[in-house]
Amino acid sequence: MIKIFTNEQAKELDKYTIQNEPISSVDLIERAATLFMHEFCRRYSKQSRIFIFAGQGNNGADALAIARLLTDESYKVETYLFNPTENLSPECQTNKAYLLEEFPDIPFHEIIDDFEPPQLTERDIIIDGLFGTGLNRPLTGGFAAMVDYINQSGSTIVSIDIPSGLFGEDNSENNPDAIIRANLTLTFGSPKLAFFLPENAPYTGDWKVLDIGLLPEIVARTQTPYHLMMEDDIANLIEPRNKFAHKGMFGHALLVAGSRGKTGAALLAAQSCLRSGTGLLTVHLPQCGETVLQTAIPEAMLSIDPHKDHFTMIPEIQSYSAVGIGPGLGQHTDSVIGMEDLLKSSSKPLVIDADGINILAANKPLLSYVPPRSILTPHPKEFDRIAGGSTNTFERLQKATSFATEYKVILVLKGAYTAICLPEGGIYFNPTGNPGMATAGSGDVLTGIILGLLAQGFDSNTAAILGVFLHGTAGDLAAAMDSEESLLASDITAMLGKAYKQLR
């Protein structure tokens, strides 16, 4: 897992590394600039003109070091250093001297008063080094105008560490018109929390973390609730099966799902549950779905509800390894009563999705009966119904964290970087998946996967983390085979086998 640190923590990591490696601040900047230069050279041609905009602080020092390194690589570089207060940081001053000493004839402009902007085109590349993570208030005045000029240029924009004007965490009080809209952000050390929030995607563009060699002991020792899941860590969660294994060793899942017109949701969840590796699956659904399920999934057993159209009552559940409820369930009054009975009678964690969450949102006293360590998998609107609306994703994430802690549940807040919020307070972001998975039934597939893992004996935290990663990996494989536009939820299920193989 990659830890995600706050701006203040990142400063302390840099400081510790400087003091204990030991390495000077200027040399650490040189290390970061060299990594940036190599990544930049890998991506961009020397045929483009490069315009570098540097600020007065250490982000500007990075920019000036990059200007020198790219010039040495024979790129056509023109540098603008904005110094309106005539007060450069020591590192920025040093890198200015290095640049002009090594390349005295380089096009270099130090802006103190008036700025005559260059004529930029779509063929040009801008390297943004105006402001870094130390910024704590929205840009105004000349710098805001500068940001607007860069954004309107049509040039490709590459930001150093973080787009200028963007805060590292909470941007709810920021000015969206005064933030660089980068095509690419090359960030140092670890990703910033802001990168995982959808409202910030127009500013960060694609992003990549460059490892600048912060000392491992301080990284390990520094606590943070935020983590980015990595494939190697997830792969270690999957153990090979015993040669003499039998189906009874991999659990018996019960899926409560479906209603008239929504049998497909039950079908999708059931298929993915079986594909995730559970030994046995029973689907409890109303009478209207019996023929469909029995025909489409002969591997599943059925428990038929007394009602022909919707769920009304649960079967005996004590013999099941894990129970999931919600896909296509509907919210009939009878279903509310049936779900209340399930919550009160279950001694094991449940997987609750879709209409299961909507029933909880409309009947909030039921939340007190949700078994500890149950897994809830809402999309943002479903979560807003259960926890109240949010003005932005940062606020919603804080609510999700509090909700998971208060109710002692695992909350899977679905999205581009699905956030798994644990009752202990940890938040794990998932890097897999693609926009093609924003399609009907994708959430039902995720429910089935997590239910199947829970039934196999994975603890709730692991079932949620592994399930989300597998779901996204299968979606990526499906999109690679065809396209994001044509992707169906059933394609995700079909790729689960290959997802497992890829992780192994």
3-state helix/strand/coil string of 18-43: HHHCCCCHHHHHHHHHHHHHHHHHHH
Please answer whether residues 228 and 254 qualify as being in contact, where contact means their C-beta atoms are separated by less than 8 angstroms: no
Domain assignment present for 417? no
Mean per-residue pLDDT, 437-451:
98
CB 181 within 8 A of CB 162: no
Q: Which tens digits make up the pLDDT trace of 480-502? A: 999 999 999 999 999 999 999 99
- pLDDT at residue 339 tops 90: yes
For residue 12, how many other CB atoms are within 10 A of its CB? 13
Name the one residue in this structure whose structure tokens are 């105008």.
145
State which residues form the domain around 105.
2-223
Positive or negative: CA dihedral 451, 294, 501, 490: negative
Domain count, the chain: 2
The answer as to whether 257 is a domain residue is yes
pTM here is: 0.95
Q: Contact at 8 Å (CB) between 93 and 64? A: no
414 assigned to some structural domain: no
In this structure, is residue 265 part of a structural domain? yes
Q: How do residues 34-86 score in pLDDT, each as one tens digit?
A: 999 999 999 999 999 999 999 999 999 999 999 999 999 999 999 999 999 99
Q: Over 90: is that where the pLDDT of 504 sits?
A: no
Read off the CATH number of the domain in which 43 is found: 3.40.50.10260
Q: Helix 496-503 vs helix 460-481: angle between axes, to the nearest 10 degrees?
A: 110
Task: Answer whether residue 420 is part of any domain.
Answer: no
Provide the 3-class DSSP secondary structure of residue 184: strand
Give the span between the Cα atoms of 358 and 303, in whole angstroms: 23
User: Which residue type is seen at 248?
Assistant: G
Check whether 155 has a pLDDT greater than 90. yes
Q: What is the CATH number of the domain that holds 260?
A: 3.40.1190.20
Q: Is 384 part of any domain?
A: no
Contact by Cβ (8 Å): 338, 309: no
Cα separation, 168 vs 163, in Å, equals 10
Quote the strand ranges of 216-285, DSSP E.
Answer: 226-228, 252-256, 280-285
Report the relative pairing of strands 2-3 and 226-228 from DSSP bridges: antiparallel
Of 143, 203, 121, 141, nearest to 167 by C-alpha is: 203
Q: Quick check: 470 and 205 in contact, CB under 8 A?
A: no
- The predicted structure's pLDDT at residue 327: 98
How far is CA 501 from each of CA 65, 200, 442, 496, rounded to the nearest angstrom? 43, 34, 21, 9
Q: In the chain, what percentage of residues exceed pLDDT 70?
A: 100
Q: Is residue 421 situated within a structural domain?
A: no
User: Could you give the 3-state DSSP secondary structure of residue 350?
Assistant: strand
Phi first, then psi: give them for residue 145, nearest 5 degrees.
-65, -35
User: Which of 223, 256, 291 represents a domain boundary (last residue)?
Assistant: 223
Say yes or no: 101 and 144 in one domain.
yes
Q: Does residue 211 belong to any structural domain of this protein?
A: yes
**Is 60 in the same domain as 116?**
yes
- Residues 462, 344 within the same domain: yes
Question: Phi, psi at residue 14, to the nearest 5°?
Answer: -60, -45
Helix residue spans in 107-159 (DSSP H): 141-151
Residue 272 sits in the same domain as residue 168: no
Tell me the two tokens of residue 417. Answer: 């970087």
Same domain, 37 and 107: yes
359 and 268 inside one domain? yes
Query: Which letter does DSSP use for residue 238 in this model?
Result: P
List pLDDT tens digits, range 83-120: 999 999 999 999 999 999 999 999 999 999 989 999 99
What contacts 114, CB < 8 A, 6 or more positions away?
none
Those residues with Cβ within 8 angstroms of residue 405's Cβ, 6 or more apart along the chain or in another chain: 423, 424, 425
296 and 188 belong to one structural domain: no
Listed in order, strand segments (DSSP E) in 277-407 are 280-285, 301-304, 322-325, 350-352, 375-376
Mean pLDDT of the chain: 97
Contact assessment for residue 391 and residue 172, using Cβ atoms and an 8 Å cutoff: yes
SS3 410: strand
Same structural domain for residues 196 and 104? yes
Summarize pLDDT for 363-393 with one digit per residue, the tens.
Answer: 999 999 999 999 999 999 999 999 999 999 9
Q: In this structure, are 257 and 144 located in the same domain?
A: no
Q: Which of 207, 223, 239 is the last residue of a domain?
A: 223
